[in-house]
Amino acid sequence: MSVLEGISIDMSIVLGSCQVPIRQILKMSRGAMIPLDCGHDDPTLVYVNNKLVARGKVLVNEDQMSLEITEVVRKDAL
């Protein structure tokens, strides 16, 4: 067993973002659409412990979603 296996990390996959007034959120119902600040060709961002580590693209195969990593962000590029 590797010593790394017991370490927990916080990972976030970010498709996009937006700013929405709270009054609009309170009016939303099931099925509401929230527009994001990105297009379908824009990269998906991968954060580990709140640090950007990679970019990728979402792949959908029937009912399965996955993320293909297309770029690993270099530490000196940040």
- Exposure of 46 by Cβ count < 10 A (0-12 exposed, 13-18 middle, 19+ buried)? buried
Provide the pLDDT for residue 6. 86
The pTM of the full predicted model, rounded to 2 decimals, is 0.75
Domain ranges for the chain, please list them: 9-77
- pLDDT of 67 above 70: yes
Cα 45 to Cα 49: distance, rounded to the nearest angstrom: 13
Architecture per CATH, domain 9-77, reads as Roll (2.30)
pLDDT in tens, 7-65: 999 999 999 999 999 999 999 999 999 999 998 889 999 999 999 999 999 999 999 99
Beta-sheet strands, E only, within the chain: 11-14, 44-48, 51-61, 64-72
